Amino acid sequence: MLRIQGLNQYYGGSHILRDVDLDVQEGRANCLMGRNGMGKTTLLKCIMGLEPIAGGRILFKGEDISRKRPYDRARLGLGYVPQGREIFPQLTVEENLRVPLASKRSKGIPERVYELFPVLKDMARRRGGDLSGGQQQQLAIGRALVLDPEILLLDEPIEGIQPNIVKEISEVIRLLNREQGLTILLVEQKLPFARATADCFSILNNGRNVASGEMTELGDDLIQEHLTV
């Protein structure tokens, strides 16, 4: 569904992503792993068109989307939950959820968002900034689902979140993937969460995709070499 070929990216003179190839197959939950600063967030931003790429291609359902604007990628079916959530603290929960609908006036917030996260309905009139970290994360995921994506990119969704909500978020991602058929690309460093949530993995090390496989094949050797600190 999502195919990245020979992707290169620079911040100024720093070569961050190096010839990255990555395939995310339809219906699967793929976990992108790697230590801090290896380029995981940069890769998701390139996929969404939030950072320019220096070379390579990004194909979504066979179409080259490398030159498309972020909003057009979102409308084509890519949903994005950024690292650190990036909700709008001054807007209400409902206003946050309406942001992606800006130019689609006829359509409201899909009921499914509130079914997945009832707390967002209860808190619809509260300001985003008044929510707990876990609730803000639920809001960020809800916002990414408003345009009914076919693939959901999530960047470290449990960073700094209380354990009870971590479990809820893992369950929601699994439900979206296994029961509703949503394809997932999850960035995650924590092994138990990655194993519980994803079917397969890819590892970035210094901007290179150094390993990929089924989650069951992620053994101690790879963990030692690329993941433990």
Ligand X SMILES: Nc1ncnc2c1ncn2[C@@H]1O[C@H](COP(=O)(O)OP(=O)(O)OP(=O)(O)O)[C@@H](O)[C@H]1O
Q: Is residue 34 within 8 Å of residue 226, measured between CB atoms?
A: yes
Which of ligand X, Mg ion, none interacts with 36 (beta carbon under 5 to 8 A by kind)?
ligand X
Instruction: Report in angstroms how near the CB of residue 63 gets to Mg ion at its nearest.
Output: 27
4 binds, among Mg ion, ligand X, none (CB under 5 to 8 A by kind): none
Closer by beta carbon to ligand X, 83 or else 212 = 83
Question: Least distance to Mg ion from the beta carbon of 107, Å?
Answer: 31
Q: How far apart are CA 33 and CA 10, in angstroms?
A: 20
Residue 83 or residue 205: which is nearer to Mg ion going by CB?
83
Nearer CB in complex with ligand X: 3/226: 226
137 binds, among Mg ion, ligand X, none (CB under 5 to 8 A by kind): none
Which is closer to ligand X, CB of 13 or CB of 62? 13
Rounded least distance, CB 152 to ligand X, Å: 17
Residue tagged 């619809």 (tokens): 124
Question: CA of 170: how far to CAs of 29, 103, 142, 165, 198, in Å?
Answer: 12, 31, 14, 9, 10
Per CB under 6 A, residues contacting ligand X are 11, 16, 34, 36-42, 83
Minimum gap (Å) between residue 37 Cβ and ligand X: 4
DSSP the chain: -EEEEEEEEEETTEEEEEEEEEEE-TT-EEEEE--TTSSHHHHHHHHHTSS--SEEEEEETTEE-TTS-HHHHHHHTEEEE-TT----TTSBHHHHHHGGGTT-TT----HHHHHH-HHHHHTTTSBGGGS-HHHHHHHHHHHHHTT--SEEEEESTTTT--HHHHHHHHHHHHIIIIIT--EEEEE---HHHHHHH-SEEEEEETTEEEEEEEGGG--HHHIIIII--
If the CB atoms of residues 11 and 214 are measured against ligand X, the closer one turns out to be 11
Q: Which is nearer to ligand X, 30 or 97 (CB)?
A: 30
Distance in Å, CB of 84 to Mg ion, minimum: 9
37 makes contact, choosing from ligand X, Mg ion, none, with CB < 5 to 8 Å by partner type, with: ligand X
Q: How far is the CB of 78 from Mg ion (least distance, A)?
A: 18
143 binds, among Mg ion, ligand X, none (CB under 5 to 8 A by kind): none
Q: From ligand X, Mg ion, none, which one binds at residue 149 (CB under 5 to 8 Å depending on kind)? A: none
